[in-house]
């Protein structure tokens, strides 16, 4: 009986220690989430408006305008930029992004995958560790971006993707990331990066008409790379906020589960303790009765 009591006490101490860690991690994630949420909320309207403007320019241009980054080609070689996190303990955050990547490959690019024409650039260590273990063509060049998250570091990845696309190393570039909604909700999406998608014109809709100054070619050459850099940076900021939200939610649930486990263990401990006391009293009474007899 004493051994059983000691075991339950040890389990209670273990759960209490774990709960202290989960509560601390929740507080850290909440603080990081506030900063990450402010960054993406300020960035999102600017990035969306730039993307709309770029898509409108592409839609109202023809191939003679020299839009290399909007050139549609048969999708033979595919690049997927997968944005995960560097650390775990964020619920299903990383596994959902990895599942979405695999599902996209299976549904859209299965033939290219069988030919070995799928490349994955990982932003975040967790995605890289998974895909390299399964022998995907995974690159670790940009996996440490979250160590020092700046526009300049993300811009390097965007520029490299643009150069590779222009050199026809890839025919399609997709971004797979998590869009931040709130602390408890993330939306996992696949977004076309290159070639620049055109706006589908609805029947009877009036096309956007721009007056270009300086020339259209100069503007396109200047704006395109900047807007694409911003698009990838927005995706990274979205994923960063989503990660902290997912981790905060996961740690909150873990702390709640620890409370329930502690309640159950304390009930078990009290029952075992009462049983031990009853046994000891019975032995004392029996011993006293034997002495009197």
Q: Where are the alpha helices (DSSP H) in the chain?
A: 2-59, 93-108, 110-114, 125-133, 151-166, 216-292
Q: What is the mean pLDDT of each run of 10 residues along the chain (293 residues)?
A: 77 91 92 92 88 75 64 93 94 95 96 96 96 95 94 95 95 96 91 82 55 71 86 95 94 92 88 81 79 70
Cβ neighbours of residue 57 under 8 Å, at least 6 residues apart? 210, 219, 220, 223
Compute how many other C-beta atoms are within 10 angstroms of the C-beta atom of residue 19. Answer: 18
> So what's the pLDDT on residue 51?
80
Residues 6+ apart with CB under 8 A from 91: 246, 247, 249, 250, 253
Q: Rounded to an integer, what distance in angstroms lies between the CA atom of residue 216 and that of residue 104? A: 36
Query: What is the DSSP annotation of 139-182?
Result: E-TTTTGGGG--HHHHHHHHHHHHHHHHTTS-SEEEEEEEEEEE
Contact 183, 93 (CB under 8 A): no
Round the CA-based radius of gyration of the chain to a whole number and report it.
29
What per-residue confidence (pLDDT) applies to 220? 74
| pTM recorded for the entire structure | 0.84
- How far apart (Å, rounded) are the C-alpha atoms in residues 90 and 87? 8
Q: Tell me which H or E stretch contains 208.
A: none
Specify whether the CB–CB gap between 157 and 145 falls below 8 A: yes
Contact 282, 18 (CB under 8 A): no
pLDDT reported for residue 64: 45
DSSP 8-state secondary structure symbol assigned to residue 65 = G
**Which letter does DSSP use for residue 206 in this model?**
P
Cβ burial 208-231 (10 Å sphere, 16+ → b, else e): eeeeeeeebeeebeeebbebbbbb
Residue 251 carries which DSSP code? H
> Chain-centre distance of CA 92, in angstroms?
9
Structural domains in the chain, sorted by start = 20-251 (3.40.1380.10)
């Amino acid at each position: 009986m004493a051994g059983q009591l000691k075991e339950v006490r040890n389990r209670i101490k273990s759960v209490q220690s774990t709960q202290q860690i989960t509560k601390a991690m929740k507080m850290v994630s909440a603080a990081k989430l506030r900063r990450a949420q402010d960054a993406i909320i300020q960035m999102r309207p600017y990035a969306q408006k730039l993307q709309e403007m770029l898509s409108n320019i592409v839609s109202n241009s023809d191939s003679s305008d020299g839009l290399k980054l909007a050139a549609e080609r048969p999708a033979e070689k595919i690049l997927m930029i997968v944005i995960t996190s560097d650390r775990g303990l964020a619920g299903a955050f990383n596994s959902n992004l990895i599942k979405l990547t695999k599902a996209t490959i299976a549904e859209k690019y299965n033939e290219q995958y069988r030919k070995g024409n799928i490349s994955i650039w990982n932003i975040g260590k967790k995605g890289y560790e998974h895909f390299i273990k399964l022998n995907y063509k995974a690159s670790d060049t940009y996996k440490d971006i979250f160590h020092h998250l700046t526009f300049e570091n993300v811009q390097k990845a965007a520029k490299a993707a643009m150069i590779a696309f222009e050199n026809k190393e890839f025919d399609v570039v997709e971004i797979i990331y998590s869009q931040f909604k709130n602390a408890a909700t993330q939306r996992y999406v696949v977004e076309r990066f290159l070639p620049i998608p055109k706006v589908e014109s609805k029947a009877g809709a009036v096309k956007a008409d721009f007056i270009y100054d300086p020339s259209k070619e100069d503007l396109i050459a200047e704006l395109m790379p900047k807007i694409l850099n911003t698009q990838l940076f927005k995706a990274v900021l979205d994923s960063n906020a989503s990660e902290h939200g997912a981790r905060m939610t996961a740690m909150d649930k873990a702390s709640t589960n620890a409370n329930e486990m502690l309640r159950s263990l304390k009930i078990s401990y009290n029952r075992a303790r009462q049983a031990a006391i009853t046994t000891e009293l019975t032995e004392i009474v029996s011993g006293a009765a034997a002495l009197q007899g």
